[in-house]
Amino acid sequence: MPHPGRMLTLPASDRVVTLVGTAFAVSPTGVLATSAHLVDPGDAQLMEAVAQRAAPDGALLAPDGARRRVRDGAAPVGVRVLGVRVWPAYPAGTSPEAVRALPARVVRGGVDHAEDVALVRVAAAHDLPALMVRGDASAGTAVTVVGFGSTAGGGPAEPWVRAGVFVGGVDRGALPVDPVVDAVVVTGDSGGPVLGPDGTVRAMVTSRIQQ
């Protein structure tokens, strides 16, 4: 087990971590909204992603072949975001190899970690079907959750659409209340829109409450 302050170097195969989620257009000129933790992750998100590659006992395999356990409160060192890429939705039956990922960049000043919202721009995208953001709902409002999460590996080629309902919110003190939706949400849905009956965006998927 590493001592406090000791660094554990990951094997080369584990040094690149990919965070996958959902984004939606808010402007026809290529601006997309998504979750901030996907494009500008903090230490907690990075350590969680690393932990998902660990052995069942929580240990990591070091380059020397030894097993090392990461202490609680460990933080990544020398980490940087290599880039953001966006894959457009494509019909089922299409070969993934035939779909080209589009490079994107985070909009300057477009990251709000408190709200877990970020804006990215895809320069190669034009005339996108942008969604109107309304951002309000009351308890009992029927909603539709759209995302690219999947209970199976690989993720779906087309977005997964589910029905849900607003049930209230989580009070965060001085910060705005987080809306809570009763709906099925899985890994990969982060950044996905929560649509009201009129098709406007009422909220965004940012986390899942375990029950």
The arithmetic mean of pLDDT across residues 49-63, rounded, is: 57
pLDDT in tens, 77-118: 666 777 888 888 776 677 767 778 888 999 988 999 888 899
Cβ contact 146:22 at 8 Å: yes
> For residue 41, what pLDDT band results from cuts at 50, 70 and 90?
confident
The rounded distance, in Å, linking the Cα atoms of 157 and 102 is: 16
Q: Is 160 helix (H, G, I), strand (E, B) or coil?
A: strand
Phi, psi of 14 (to 5 degrees): -110, 10
Tell me the per-residue pLDDT of 161-189, one tens digit each, with 9 for 90 and over: 999 998 876 655 544 557 788 888 888 89
Whether pLDDT at 47 is above 70: no
In this prediction, residue 56 carries a pLDDT of 52
Alpha carbon separation from 120 to 16, 25, 97, 158, 185 (Å, rounded) = 21, 9, 24, 21, 23
4 and 173 in contact (C-beta within 8 Å)?
Answer: no
Whole-number pLDDT of residue 50:
64
pLDDT at 138: 81
For residue range 113-151, list pLDDT tens digits in order: 888 899 999 987 788 889 999 877 788 889 999 998 864
Which of 167, 189, 187, 162 is closest to 177 using CA atoms? 167
Predicted structure pTM score: 0.75
CB-based burial, 110-147: b 16+ in 10 Å, e otherwise:
bbeeeebbbbbbbeebeebebbeeeeebeeebebbbbb
Q: Read out DSSP for 29-93?
A: TTEEEE-HHHHS--HHHHHHHHHTTS-TTSEEE-TTS-EEEPPTT---SS-----EEEPPP--TT
CB atoms within 10 A of CB 64: 8
d(CA 123, CA 177): 33
